[in-house]
Chain A
Amino acid sequence: MSVSNLLSQYGDRYIQALLTTWKLTAFSFAAAFALGVLITILRVCPIKPLRIAGDFYVQVFRNIPGAALLILLVYALPYLKIIFSYEVCVLIATTLIPSAFCSEHLMSGMNTIAPGQIEAARALGLTFFQMIRRIVIPQALRSTVLPMTNLLVATMLTTSLASQVPMRPMDLTGLVSYINTHATGGVTAFAISAALYCATALLIGFTGSLIDRKVRILR
């Protein structure tokens, strides 16, 4: 099928699929970031069991394959009488996995802070929370712009998991497999989806490096 043929027949669906992918990505990333911050707080708090729990969480979700997690959520959890809709299952999977990586990035962001600056903050009479707010968080955030940009792209790639469940509206990956099982979309159908994914990734990457150049800390 030619591009114009495909677009006239499936153009609206492509737009809808792109928006679905964007929506999934935005929601998952926002939730993953919030969760990642929370997990990171657990991991750096002085309470040992919470640190261990946070580390455990990160190891589990950074190492589990997305497909395995989604299958657990969709097919296995109902045996525990825990049933989520397909959409919720996808969102849980595309949130939990990036949240673990988000926490890892935040940890390494914090580790870029020179220990002397923490001592200097103390010596100036800043309380613990003042030090966290004024010294630790700003530096950690500013040095994680690029990793977070990459995480946003990775989250977008992860949302292709949505194609593995019968979800409506379909995402960009789901739509391609749909088109190809109903008609022979051939290479073109893939190329359109791939181009839309790529364009999104480039846009994210471009914006990220723009922000990074603005806020990067000279050392």
Chain B
Amino acid sequence: MNMETPVIELRHVDKHFGLLHVLKDISLKVYRGEVVVILGPSGSGKSTLCRTVNRLETIDSGEILIDGEPMPAEGRKLASLRAKIGMVFQSFNLFAHMTILDNLTLAPVDVLRIGKKEARMEAMRLLERVGVADQARKVPAQLSGGQQQRAAIARALAMRPEAILFDEPTSALDPEMISEVLNVMTSLASDGMTMLIVTHEMNFARKVADRVIFMDDGMIVEESDPEAFFLHPQSERARDFLNAVHSH
């Protein structure tokens, strides 16, 4: 039994979109330094689950705790708790009117109140790390999808987050750019970053995940270590899913 407080914890979370029951009694813990990958067919609710963690989606019932603290419903408290959890989106969502560098320094300066100079230095260091430092003065539209996504990861890192949520970070990328983003994520994982990742990249999941969660129809169907999941899936649905994926 792990006695440590999880960085992210969901307790009996339920959510409906109208008549659709998209999250059914979801409970989940992500501990410090852990990499948890959520797999599942599209429409299984995995993206929604990821977005509820920082309240980009509200929930109908249940509890979400960050560092043991319940997620506030609104206001400054919500904002400052969100600041602790980074998020990387499918469509990058860099601010179109700012340079890459300004994208990285905006929140550290405005939210964390870090000095401009320090924020810039930190931003450049992070851009270096994800390999787009030479693009710092450009605006997002001048970058390739892979570069944008790497910059978006750097933007999340600039907030010195306790954990980062990845909502299908490679789904909008051309095939040749997927690996450059996955490489950055792999290096983050090996540096001990706490990560909750929704993805369709099976090889990546198998290599990087500490734990795999398989979702279908709004429920967590299986939760196990990656080797066990990929070699011996317990449920019928997981077997079907893996067969469908591998037959591609």
Contact = CB atoms under 8 A, between A and B. Distances in A.
Contacts of A217: 96-97, 139, 141
Interface string B27-46: 00000000000000000000
A127 interface: yes
A125 B95 contact: no
Interface string B47-85: 000000010100000000000000000001001111111
Contact of A119 (B56, B106, B141, B152): B56
Given A116-B91, A130-B111, A218-B142, A125 B83 contact: yes
A138 interface: yes
Contacts of A135: 95, 97
Contacts, number: 79
A125 B82 contact: yes
B83 A120 contact: no
B44 to A, nearest CB: 21
Interface string A183-219: 0000000000000000000000000000000000111
A218 B93 contact: no
A47 interface: no
18 contacts: A117-B94, A119-B93, A120-B93, A120-B94, A120-B95, A124-B111, A124-B155, A124-B159, A125-B82, A134-B95, A134-B106, A134-B110, A217-B96, A217-B141, A218-B96, A218-B139, A219-B96, A219-B141
Interface of A: 113-114, 116-117, 119-127, 130, 134-135, 138-139, 142, 217-219
6 nearest CB pairs, A to B = A125-B83, A218-B141, A116-B93, A120-B93, A123-B87, A124-B107
